Amino acid sequence: MNLNRSFFVPVNSPLHNLNPLTKLALVFSMILPAFLSLPQLAPFLAIPILIAVFIGRVQKQYFNLLLKLVLPTILFMFVMQSLFLPGGETVILNLGIFDVTRESMQSAFYTVSRIFVMISSFAILLLTTHPSELMSDLTRRGLPGQFAYVIISTLQILPQMQAKAQTIIAAQRSRGLDTESSFRKRIGSLVPLVGPLVFGSLVEVEERAIAIEARGFTSKRVKTSLHEIPDPAFDKILRGILVILVIASFTLNLWLS
C-alpha cells in the first residue's frame, strides 16, 4: 500500500466544478437513506452512483478502485454472511453442515449493497474533490481552522514519514536486522524500526509549534483565503433539494412503519 496518494483525479467535469459542500451533501443524501431511512432502497441507489461516475468522468479510476477495494470485500462478506447468518426457514442450498437460507441471503444482499453505496459515494467524493479544497471550503463556512490544519498537514507529513520509514527499514536491514524470519525475531525488530521514526518526528513538533504560533495560528481574527472556492446559486438550490429529499425519506419511513 502506498500512503503517498489521495484519490483525486484532476480532470474537468461538472462534478469537479460543484462546490465541495454540495458534493458532501450528495454523499450523505445517499448514505442516510441507505442505512437509516429507506434501507430497502439501497440496491437501487447504485443507479445514481453509476450516473455520477460518468458525469464526473472518473469511470476508469472508479472501476479500478471497485475491482481492487470494494468487490473483494463485498464478495467475501456476501458469501460468509449467506453461509453463516442464523435464522431463516427456506433452505436454498445445503453444503454439508452449512445451510444457505433465502432469508440470510437476502439480508446479506442488503448489507452488501449498503456497503457498496457507502464506499462508492465516498470514493466519488474523493475522486472529484481535493481534500484541501474541501477543508478550505468548510473552514470558510465556520469550521475551526485547526481542523483544516490537522487534515492538510497530516496529508503532507505522511509521505515524508513513509519515506523516512523506508529509509529506516533499509538502514536497519543493511545492519543485519531480521524482518523476515521467525516470529520472535520479527517482534524484536519492531523496536529498532519504530524508535527512530517516532522520536525523530516528535522532536519536530516543538519547532513546528513555534513556527505556526509566529504566523498567528491561535489568532481569533477572521483569516482571508488565498484560494476562493465558488459557490453559485445552482449549488445552493441543489443542497436545498437534497435536504428536502432526506427529510422526505425519513417521513416516509415513519409513515410506513
Partner 1 sequence: MEVISQNAVYFAVVAVIMILLFAWAYFTKRIQKDFITMTWVLIPVAIAINLTIGQIVLVLKLPVYLDSIGTVLVGVICGPWAGALTGALSNIIAGIILDPGWFPWFPVAAAIGATAGVMANIGYFKNWWKVVVTGFVIAIVATVVGTPISIAIFGGISASGSSIITAFLLETGRSLVGAVLTTNFIAEPLDKIATSLLAFAIIDGLSARYLSRFPRGENAAVEKGQKQTQMIIALVVVVLLILFGIFILPSLTAG
Q: CB nearer to partner 1: give 176 or 233.
A: 176
What would the grid cell of residue 185 be? 525475531
Q: Which is nearer to partner 1, 169 or 242 (CB)?
A: 169
Measured from the CB of residue 182, what is the shortest distance to partner 1 in angstroms?
11
CB of 140 to partner 1, least distance (A): 19
AA letter at 192: P
**From CA 135, how far away is CA 153, in angstroms rounded?**
11
Residues 6+ apart with CB under 8 A from 186: 178, 179, 180
- Distance from chain centroid for Cα 179: 31
The CB-of-211 to partner 1 minimum distance in angstroms stands at 9
In the complex, minimum distance from the CB of residue 90 to partner 1, in angstroms, rounded to a whole number:
18
Q: Specify whether the CB–CB gap between 103 and 113 falls below 8 A.
A: no
Are 232 and 212 a contacting pair, CB within 8 Å? no
Q: Which residue number, 121 or 233, has a Cβ lying nearer to partner 1? A: 121
Alpha-carbon Rg for the chain in angstroms: 24
The smaller minimum CB distance to partner 1, of residues 11 and 194, is found at 194
**CA neighbours closer than 13 Å in the CB half-sphere of residue 51:** 6
CA 55 to CA 57: how far, in whole Å?
A: 5
Q: How far is the CB of 78 from partner 1 (least distance, A)?
A: 10
Q: For residue 21, which of 113, 136, 119 has the smallest C-alpha distance?
A: 136
Other CB atoms closer than 10 Å to residue 254's CB: what's the count? 8
Closest approach, Cβ 33 to partner 1, in A, equals 11
Identity of the residue, 119 or 242, whose beta carbon is nearer to partner 1 in the bound complex: 119
Nearer to partner 1, 203 or 233 (CB): 203
